[in-house]
Structure 1
Amino acid sequence: MALIAIAADKGSPGVTTTAVALAAVWPRRTLLAETDPAGGDLVYRSAAAHGGPLNPNTGMLSIAATARRGLVPDQLWDHVQPLSGGLEVLVGLGSAEQAAGLAGLWPTLGRAFAQLADSEHAPADVIADCGRISGDTPAVEMFAQAALVLLVARTAPESIARVRDRAAALTTKLHGGPRGAAAPGTPLVGVVLIADPGDSAKIVRQVDDMLTAARTGARVVGTIAEDPAGADQLAGRRRGRLDKSLLIRSARKVTADLYQQFGAAWSVPDGGPDGVPNGGPSGVPNGARPAGAGR
């Protein structure tokens, strides 16, 4: 299993929505970790499994004290809360000021996330919502432990230019310099585009060509549909069949493509600790109603 870090360069392209959507349809047990140093959003937009609000003090904030004494991967589960649809979440910090409590601990967190695959009791992939990143963002210190670093971008020219430059900077930081398309590094730096489904194929080709020409070492790994209605359903602000939404259908396609390409390297059998595939009442793995949609 693996750590998949999801981030953006600037603005609000939809990192949290993308992370939640991918976690909701991920084919094995998944822990969604809100690791944005600027603070998390799910405590404000999501309901807990018991129907009430999530506890903002249980998650990244509570794990800070534990991690200073050393962190065994299984300890992560002591700080996790289930959402109303069953998705297990490590709730983010309440504010950027609280990130000071995690100073120096980001590599420790990255190792624990990556090693959760080796748990004898509850192995899981970790999808980390890292928010916006820059050269000095501390969450980047986890990236060396990741199997994939996915940069989310919209398709406006300025967004594409920024994701190209950020991908190149990450390749230099993680791998020591630029790389051609034939020499991808580990972790792989990929780009997920938020796009109109009708235009996505053409845009993917154009962005891939640009990433290759700039020797970023990155490539487009998929597109997530621009679907405001689906995003509202995912956040619990709108009723409807979330599993039929363009958002969830596109997230399924991204996860299927990732597993086709990299699944052999993530060799722990599918399913939860008993080997039973994860599933939920809506027919989407992990429930696909993580934020209380349909309540």
Structure 2
Amino acid sequence: MRLISIITSSIFLFFILSWVWMNYPETRSFTLDFVSKKKFNTLEVRYSAEAIMENNKRTLLKDSNHTFLEPDLKFHPYLLMEVKYNRTHDKTGEGIILWSLVDGEMVINTSSWEMTHGFKDCITYNADKENFKIINALATRGGSMDRENLSRILNVDNDILDSWIEGCRRKNLIVQNGNHYRLHFEKPKLQVMPETKVDHSIVTKAAKYASRINKRYRPAQIESIAKYAFGNDFAIRKKTEIYLPIYSIVVQNPDGSLMTTYFNALNGKKLSQTFHLE
């Protein structure tokens, strides 16, 4: 009798856990993170902290009263996707995309680590396929367009166009000024090729016991936005999570205050002040 009770309880628990696993992506993400906590894939560190400090010494240390403190190395999560897409009407393009799971933006090229601007809000406000019809149309014209040209480009009935526009306005993705509509991002950068330009080979290796930055976005959110943004012919062949090594270079000022600057350990370059390291 006791054996039957144990088996019944085990089956019930199995179905409960299966339901949670299938219906709660956060649970899957947490579990996978926990399992892989001791080991994860990271992009190769090409520049040491000492080399970066030496190369930027004149900029970071204003005089002899300013001193470097011990640098810190953290790892920033990205989604690496192998993709294919329509490069032209008669040619298919293939490549990879690096997309930040913290900033919500795509890396345009690895040399400067230039990134898009606007996808983060699209993820935050759950932009969908119809929203991106408006967003992409505006992006092709520098981010702004009047209703007449918008209607001509999209070639849909006025009722449908009105519903698409209103959907974007409700999500704060566009704003209206008279008869003109514009993207509601400062200096939007969305009209890009669906491929990260890689100026040197992407090498990954296993790392252990390192400090990792928490993810703000799930891979599934990145996948959805990429598919909406880049159209029906965009396909993701393979995806994996990798980490970018980031140095925190700290300078102590004469008054005891600290100034922290972040550097990309892959290309040795300073990161934007808007870069998130939390």
Per the normalisation by structure 2, the TM-score is 0.25
Larger % of strand: which? 2
Per the normalisation by structure 1, the TM-score is 0.24
